[in-house]
């Protein structure tokens, strides 16, 4: 590997999400979200961890923005907690909630960091869930109202608006497997949640542009799954997974249609009658960038006798064992364990998957700029006696993936930037505080922040916009 210079104007950032870092769950009028509820369900989250305090970012914005400035970030991707703005998901906005994000945005701008705001990173107001949540079409309209409130409040101070983060997780972990909030297992009916999230994306994008004008920079972030198959027979299984995992969002958003084959192969699960005339036109809005979150790859084969993993062990497809499968209608498809190395999530490290994904998107949508909105890794960090965190496995992971982004750019993909997940250690959903993704360590007893070696390394990458060869850590070699 030689050193690699990234294109002029390439955006270097880091990402977080409201419920994962803010804490202050009951302060300043914030209403409960589905994660406040779900995290209190016995057994739903490891050790019953909640986001009540999290990284206490709500009270530490100046300190955290100072750290971002120290890292030299061009941009910061955060999410807005809908229940801080509308505690029950509708009605007038809470001034204190608006002020919090307004102050954050001003602090960022003062530090010369571009604010990238995600409107929905999974903390749905509980009151809306009580009315059916994403299974209820009304939620999409409420979301558009909220989007308009935020566009009015933060207006052109925000550099990029992202409607949804990973709607795959919201729909299939939230309403199919039940592994995430609200923890429901609705079977085929959960495809309604998929459609209502797609609709919410389109309505919110239009609402933001209704306030700020047609040129307002709007995006969406998808976790597109890179799935591999070894034989032509298994390629059919992969294609089915691609449709239910990726196409079910990508095609309506980018092309204004659902794949015919998907509708046919899921017709025993739902009649899709929740798709109304005009919805697909609403959903297909032009995007400033298509946000891509990438972590690892999967491998499938057409199985006959699919063995379920032991309860408590991570399944090969990443969902926790003992839960319903998120892969609707794919019970005959077997997930194979990918070759290592693995991160602390048990996810395989496969940077080439990132190159493959970016090039595939570029081929399909040659005029669509792309943005890596998340990439990073959890490892079991150790604080050395000198107080430092020598997270060389994270540096190796990040370097390998930046190299993979670079290869995609070389081959023609229009990738505009990279957001490292995550700025700081945070609440990793059903894993609570047990998994650390940050380049900044958070001591959960004192809430003290410490830059890990990966943060020092990233600062140099950002400063020079250049990736230098990295000695690959033995665990990732």
CA distance 405 to 399: 10
In the complex, the smallest distance separating the C-beta of residue 426 from ligand GCO, rounded to whole angstroms, is 7
Q: Which x/- pattern, by CB under 6 A, does the window 236-275 give for ligand GCO?
A: ----------------------------------------
DSSP letter for 383, please. B
Verify binding: residue 374, ligand GCO, rule CB under 6 A: yes
Alpha helices in 132-289, H assignment, sequence order: 138-154, 167-168, 191-212, 232-242, 248-255, 260-265, 279-283
Residue with tokens 């999230």: 197
Positive or negative torsion for Cα 443, 449, 450, 455: positive
Catalytic residue (one of 22, 107, 129, 166): 166
Catalytic residue (one of 153, 374, 392, 403): 374
If binding means CB under 6 A, how many residues of this protein chain bind ligand GCO?
10
Q: Which is nearer to ligand GCO, 169 or 226 (CB)?
A: 169
Verify binding: residue 343, ligand GCO, rule CB under 6 A: no
Verify binding: residue 437, ligand GCO, rule CB under 6 A: yes
Beta-carbon contacts of 233 under 8 Å, excluding residues fewer than 6 positions away, are 301, 302
Distance of CA 238 to the CA centre of its chain: 22
Does 422 sit behind a cis peptide bond, omega within 30 degrees of 0 on the bond before it? yes
Strands (E), 27-153: 75-79, 114-120
State how far the alpha carbon of 305 is from the alpha carbons of 315, 334, 383, in Å. Answer: 16, 8, 45
In the complex, the smallest distance separating the C-beta of residue 387 from ligand GCO, rounded to whole angstroms, is 26
Q: Which is nearer to ligand GCO, 280 or 353 (CB)?
A: 353
Of 116, 169, 357, 430, the residue at the interface with ligand GCO (CB under 6 A) is 169
Selection from 292, 298, 329 nearest residue 416 by Cα: 292
Verify binding: residue 118, ligand GCO, rule CB under 6 A: no
CA distance 440 to 426: 10
DSSP letter for 431, please. G
Verify binding: residue 428, ligand GCO, rule CB under 6 A: yes
Site for ligand GCO in 290-319 (CB under 6 A): 293
CB under 6 A: which stretch of 163-171, 329-337, 359-367, 395-403 binds ligand GCO? 163-171
In the complex, the smallest distance separating the C-beta of residue 365 from ligand GCO, rounded to whole angstroms, is 21
Q: Which x/- pattern, by CB under 6 A, does the window 16-45 give for ligand GCO?
A: -x--x-------------------------
Verify binding: residue 348, ligand GCO, rule CB under 6 A: no
Length of the chain, in residues: 477
DSSP letter for 170, please. I
Whether residue 138 lies in the annotated active site: no
CA distance 230 to 228: 7
Assigned token pair, 408: 């995609």
Q: Which is nearer to ligand GCO, 151 or 169 (CB)?
A: 169
Assigned token pair, 195: 């459609």
Site for ligand GCO in 52-71 (CB under 6 A): none
Q: CB–CB of 414/9 below 8 Å?
A: no
Q: Which is nearer to ligand GCO, 107 or 166 (CB)?
A: 166
CB under 6 A: which stretch of 151-159, 161-169, 350-358, 382-390 binds ligand GCO? 161-169
Whether residue 166 lies in the annotated active site: yes
In the complex, the smallest distance separating the C-beta of residue 181 from ligand GCO, rounded to whole angstroms, is 12
Beta-carbon contacts of 446 under 8 Å, excluding residues fewer than 6 positions away, are none
The residue of the chain with the least Cβ separation from ligand GCO equals 166
Verify binding: residue 165, ligand GCO, rule CB under 6 A: yes
CB under 6 A: which stretch of 48-56, 67-75, 165-173, 186-194 binds ligand GCO? 165-173
In the complex, the smallest distance separating the C-beta of residue 232 from ligand GCO, rounded to whole angstroms, is 32
- Which uninterrupted H or E stretch holds 11? strand 11-15
- The residues annotated with a catalytic role in the active site are 166, 374
- By CB under 6 A, name the binding residues for ligand GCO: 17, 20, 165-166, 169, 293, 374, 421, 428, 437
């Amino acid at each position: 590997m030689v050193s690699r210079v990234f294109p002029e104007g390439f955006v270097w950032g880091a990402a977080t999400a409201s419920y994962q870092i803010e804490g202050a769950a009951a302060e300043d009028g914030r209403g409960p979200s589905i994660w406040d509820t779900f995290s209190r369900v016995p057994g739903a989250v490891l050790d019953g961890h909640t986001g009540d305090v999290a990284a206490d970012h709500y009270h530490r914005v100046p300190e955290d923005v100072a750290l971002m400035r120290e890292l030299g970030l061009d941009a910061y991707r955060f999410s807005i907690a809908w229940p801080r703005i509308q505690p029950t998901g509708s009605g007038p906005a809470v001034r204190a909630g608006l002020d919090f994000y307004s102050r954050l945005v001003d602090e960022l701008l003062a530090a010369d960091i571009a604010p990238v705001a995600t409107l929905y990173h999974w903390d749905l107001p509980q009151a809306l869930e009580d009315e059916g949540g994403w299974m209820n079409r009304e939620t999409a309209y409420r979301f558009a109202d909220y989007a308009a409130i935020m566009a009015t409040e933060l207006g052109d101070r925000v550099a990029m608006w992202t409607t949804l983060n990973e709607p795959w997780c919201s729909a299939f972990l939230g309403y199919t497997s039940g592994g995430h909030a609200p923890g429901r297992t609705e079977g085929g009916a959960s495809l309604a949640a998929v459609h209502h999230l797609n609709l919410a994306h389109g309505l919110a994008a239009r609402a933001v542009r209704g306030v700020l004008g047609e040129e307002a920079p709007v995006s969406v972030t998808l976790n597109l799954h890179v799935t591999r198959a070894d034989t032509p027979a298994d390629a059919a299984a992969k294609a089915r997974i691609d449709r239910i995992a990726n196409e079910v969002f990508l095609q309506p958003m980018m092309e204004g249609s659902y794949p015919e084959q998907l509708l046919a192969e899921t017709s025993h699960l739902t009649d899709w009658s929740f798709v109304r005339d005009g919805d697909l036109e609403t959903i297909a809005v032009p995007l400033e960038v298509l946000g891509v979150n990438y972590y690892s790859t999967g491998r499938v084969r057409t199985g006959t006798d699919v063995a379920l993993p032991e309860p408590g062990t991570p399944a090969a497809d990443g969902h926790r064992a003992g839960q319903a499968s998120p892969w609707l209608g794919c019970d005959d498809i077997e997930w194979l364990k990918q070759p290592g190395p693995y991160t602390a999530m048990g996810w395989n490290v496969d940077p080439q998957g990132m190159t493959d994904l970016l090039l595939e998107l570029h081929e399909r949508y040659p005029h669509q700029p792309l943005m890596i909105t998340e990439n990073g890794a959890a490892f079991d960090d150790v604080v050395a006696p000198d107080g430092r965190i020598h997270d060389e496995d994270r540096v190796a992971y990040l370097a390998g993936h930046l190299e993979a982004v670079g290869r995609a750019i070389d081959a023609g993909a229009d990738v505009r930037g990279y957001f490292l997940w995550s700025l700081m250690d945070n609440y990793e959903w059903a894993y609570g505080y047990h998994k650390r993704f940050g380049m900044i360590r958070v001591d959960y007893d004192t809430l003290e922040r410490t830059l890990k070696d990966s943060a020092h390394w990233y600062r140099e990458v950002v400063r020079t916009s250049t990736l230098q060869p990295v000695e690959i850590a033995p665990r990732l070699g």
